[in-house]
Structure 1
Amino acid sequence: MKKSILYTLCMFFLAGCTANGQSDFAKLPQVKLGEQVADFAGGCFWASSEAMSELRGVDKVIAGYAGGRTANPTYEEVCSDKTGHAETVQIYYDPKVISYAKLVEAFFYAHNPTELNYQGPDQGISYRSIAFYRTPQEKEILLNIIKEINASKHYNASIVTQVMPFTVFYPAEQYHQNYYKLHPDDSYINAVSKPKVEKMRKMEKSQLKPQYQNM
């Protein structure tokens, strides 16, 4: 669970959403012809969803849960750290426009991959950093980029991101989808999520969709 005053404020809002019957789980879209899918966990999925959706070639990003044991977990169950899941984003992208390697780079710059089992004020294994791979080639790309970023000394510490084979992804409740854009005045978004998105924009400017390149 986000252990911060900002998170407490957010939860009052989310409780209102649930009361209004908006807590249904999101639906996974069909993979379009020629599309590929990638999954990453990098702290709160509100920021990750926005950051990855701003990249050229990315069609959709779904917030959800992966890397755990429990089937169809709820947000509250994941936040308890008892299911083993991490907040994860599933990305539907066109590999002719953006490569898996560029997605991986953006992922590593959209959060701090040197923080073990937390991201900023968000504490617990549900906020751990994980890069999921579907093929041996994707695993090799992940390991090579981790080596490159570590060697570049971009971060003051070594990357602790888990590199795991993809198994299953469960979409999160509907109120988590596109949360960043829907709640631009939210205090948590502005204090925690926005700096992550802005960092990714700075590091991956050439990969951004045109509308985000001058933000």
Structure 2
Amino acid sequence: MRKDRHHQMYQQMLKAIVEHQLPPGLRLPEDKLAATFAISRTGVRKVLQRLALEKFVTIEPNKGAHVSEPSVEEARQVIDSRIMLEPLLIGAVIDNWDESAKSRLQQLIDIEHLARHADDLAEQIDLTAQFHIELASISGNQVMADFVQQLAYRSSLVVAVYGSRHSVGCDCGDHQELLELLDERQVESSIQWMKVHLQAIKQSLNFSESHDSDVDFSSIFTPLD
């Protein structure tokens, strides 16, 4: 199977998870997905492994794959961990700030704005995670950057399950605002912006939403080209 078909399937499944068409805990049988997408089970397995790496899917030995299901407490802890950790990196980010760092973040912001205007929630969730991961890498502390990466992926799942467009929209703050503060080397203002930004994401989550447990894959997905 061609690589672009893998990506097409990945995009369809990620979009379905983010838009709550595939509820948390839903089993993802390889045979049914293979039949729905008209591809081999080997191809399905590769896509599920990618989604598992990004924490959207959980694969258990002898049980197969299912949509990951973070508990409410886990979801809160993930965001709280980010609130504690990410502001600590701002000083080091500014110490390492240069035109290259600014350019990398600006590129992500520009693509993020396009996704927002296209109302592509799945793409927005992915891009906001990539922004925070890239920001952490600029700090130069690889150990802390790795922690942020893990938390950002888990946070993406939390937003996919409990969030909405408000969780990645301007209601929680535009990343462009932070970039401008960093470019002006305003350490305290940047730290405060990050805290408010992450707290707003936490407040945007809805922990009372219920999900259906039975899904017809053929009504959600289309066979690949």
For normalisation by structure 1, the TM-score amounts to 0.25
| Greater share of residues in helix | 2
| Greater share of residues in strand | 1
